[in-house]
Amino acid sequence: MTNLLPAAAIVLAAGLGTRMQPFTNDRPKALVGIAGRTLIDRALDRIRDAGVETIVVNVHHKAEMLKAHIAEWPRARPIISDETDLLRETGGGVAKALPLLGDGPFYVINSDIIWFDGALNTLQRLSARWDDSRMDALLLVHPATTATGYEGRGDFVMDPEGRLARREEQRVAPFVFTGIQILHPRLFAGGPSGVFSLNLVYDRALATGRLYGLRHDGIWMNVGTPQNAILAERVVSAL
């Protein structure tokens, strides 16, 4: 397959999986199985199928189990970003892995989601939408009303050009963030280190008008709790 921009991706798999207990009592969240396949395998296959060359996975909770599983992955082996010394949250985890991700834009993908494409490959749609002259971050968003396993008020509103704004307090927003995105390393330049959330870099992009969204046209599932995992099992098995 023709190489795409971005050529690198990181899967965020270092979380403690607290909300997924008891499923995570004996395994990392990324190794929870849905319809016979682990969450990490589903993510890795989708990334590789899109043509991404370099895949990084960060690890912390029950890291040795996840490392052993990844080492047996039948396709090109991902690179491990080891956070066993310190759990850095989403932003800190990406910042630590930046030397592994190259100098250009890269995908960041949560491990506790499942998605299915619409008419086109989702990651390739994001790549085609990326405009380096206007964007520092491009988030895949999904209509909150049709998001499987989501019951919140939404995360973002989006203007006709695709620029995102956060939901105002006590309001309802039409779109939920899917945990799939493209970020540029410049967002992290001069920023915090150690433990921090990706929300800090989203705020940097918002402040300069460089946070954009793309509406997902397929199926998206939040698989962050036991109840959602059971629901995802039913939905995926029925597809």
Per-chain mean pLDDT for the chain = 94
Considering the entire predicted model, what is its pTM?
0.94
Domain count, the chain: 1
Give me the pLDDT at residue 74, please: 79
Q: What token pair was written down for 165? A: 């704004």
User: Could you tell me if residue 2 is inside a domain?
Assistant: no
**Residue percentage of the chain with pLDDT more than 90:** 89
Question: Does any domain span residue 83?
Answer: yes
Per-residue pLDDT, 73? 85
User: What residues contact residue 210 under an 8 Å CB cut-off, 6+ apart?
Assistant: 134, 135, 136, 137
Is residue 34 a part of any domain in this protein?
A: yes
pLDDT tens by residue, 34-65 = 999 999 999 999 999 999 989 999 999 999 99
Q: Looking at residue 180, which CATH number applies to its domain? A: 3.90.550.10
Pairing, β 164-166 against β 156-158: antiparallel
What backbone torsions phi and psi does residue 191 show, to the nearest 5 degrees?
-90, -170
Instruction: With a cut of 90, say whether residue 75 has pLDDT above it.
Output: no
pLDDT in the model for residue 30? 96
Report yes or no on 1 lying in a domain.
no
- The helix (run of H) or strand (run of E) holding residue 183 is strand 175-183
Domain-embedded: residue 3: no
Does residue 73 belong to any structural domain of this protein? yes
Q: What is the mean pLDDT of residues 2-18?
A: 84
> Tens digit of pLDDT for each residue in 142-173?
999 999 999 899 999 999 999 999 999 889 99
Structural domain of 197: 8-238
| Residue 213 in this model has a pLDDT that exceeds 90 | yes
- Asked if residue 220 belongs to a domain, the reply is yes
- Evaluate if residue 1 carries a pLDDT over 70: no
The predicted pLDDT at position 4 comes to: 53
Question: Mind giving me the DSSP string for 4-48?
Answer: -S--EEEEE--S--GGGTTTTSSS-GGG-EETTEEHHHHHHHHHH
Please tell me the predicted confidence (pLDDT) of residue 115: 97
